[in-house]
Amino acid sequence: MFTLVLGFPMQGRSRSESTETIAAGHVPQLGSTINTEGRNFGTWKVVHVGQSVSDGVLSSTVHVYLEETD
């Protein structure tokens, strides 16, 4: 199981980049899309995936940066 930290881009002048943390069984691939509900409702394209390594072991926390699709 992975912890995904979804990074949503800044929207409008009064709103900064927001993040949402979710649990997932797999890590999305670059170019794939994610549909979300709630405050960041919409369809998002995965544009970057980042993961840390400590003592030769990949972290179970993965940062996924998104861009809004049309």
pTM, entire model:
0.83
Phi, psi of 40 (to 5 degrees): -110, 45
For the chain, give every domain's residue range: 2-68
8-63 pLDDT per residue, tens: 987 655 455 789 999 999 999 999 999 988 888 899 999 999 999 999 999 999 99
Task: Give 62's Cβ-side CA count (13 Å radius).
Answer: 20
User: 8 vs 47, 54, 55, 57, 58, CA distance in Å?
Assistant: 11, 26, 30, 27, 23
